């Protein structure tokens, strides 16, 4: 599957998850890191060690993040995305009146 199509499918699933906040946030997070791993290996032809050298994050840590066995910090995510020439975008979320607490679970 082409990377662009794969990331669009993840984005579409995230939008659906946003409508149902109690379902599967962790599995979607792992899918995002899998997409980052695919970008690294398939599109950029970069090894984990090359990403480690460029990001300053140890290669075993990158391997655990890509495999979904680690919970990376925001700083680690920023370092990885910068090393892959990607960016993170935060957008304002409009919560339904009275439903804000459900989004914090």
pLDDT of residue 24: 53
Q: The domain at 32-92 falls in which architecture? A: Orthogonal Bundle (1.10)
Task: Return d(Cα 51, Cα 76) in angstroms, integer.
Answer: 12
Which three-class secondary structure string do you get for 37-81?
A: HHHHHHHCCCCHHHHHHHHCCCHHHHHHHHHCCCCCCHHHHHHHH
pLDDT of residue 20: 47
Task: Return d(Cα 28, Cα 30) in angstroms, integer.
Answer: 5
Q: Which two tokens stand for residue 84?
A: 């892959």
**What tens-digit pLDDT sequence spans the chain (105 residues)?**
565 666 667 666 655 655 544 445 556 677 778 888 888 888 889 999 999 999 999 999 999 988 878 888 889 989 999 999 988 887 777 766 655 555 544
pLDDT of residue 95: 65
Contact 24, 31 (CB under 8 A): no
* Residue 14, H or E segment: helix 3-19
pLDDT of residue 29: 72
Q: Domain boundaries in the chain?
A: 32-92
The 10 Å Cβ neighbour count of residue 55 is 19
């Amino acid at each position: 599957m082409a990377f662009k199509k794969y990331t669009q499918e993840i984005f579409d699933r995230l939008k659906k998850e946003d409508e149902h906040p109690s379902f599967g946030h962790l599995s979607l997070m792992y899918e995002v890191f899998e997409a980052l791993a695919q970008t690294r290996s398939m599109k950029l032809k970069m090894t984990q060690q090359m990403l480690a050298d460029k990001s300053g994050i140890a290669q075993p840590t990158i391997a655990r993040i890509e495999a979904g066995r680690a919970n990376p910090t925001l700083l680690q995510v920023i370092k990885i995305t910068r090393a892959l020439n990607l960016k993170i975008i935060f957008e304002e979320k409009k919560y339904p009146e009275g439903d804000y607490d459900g989004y914090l679970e």
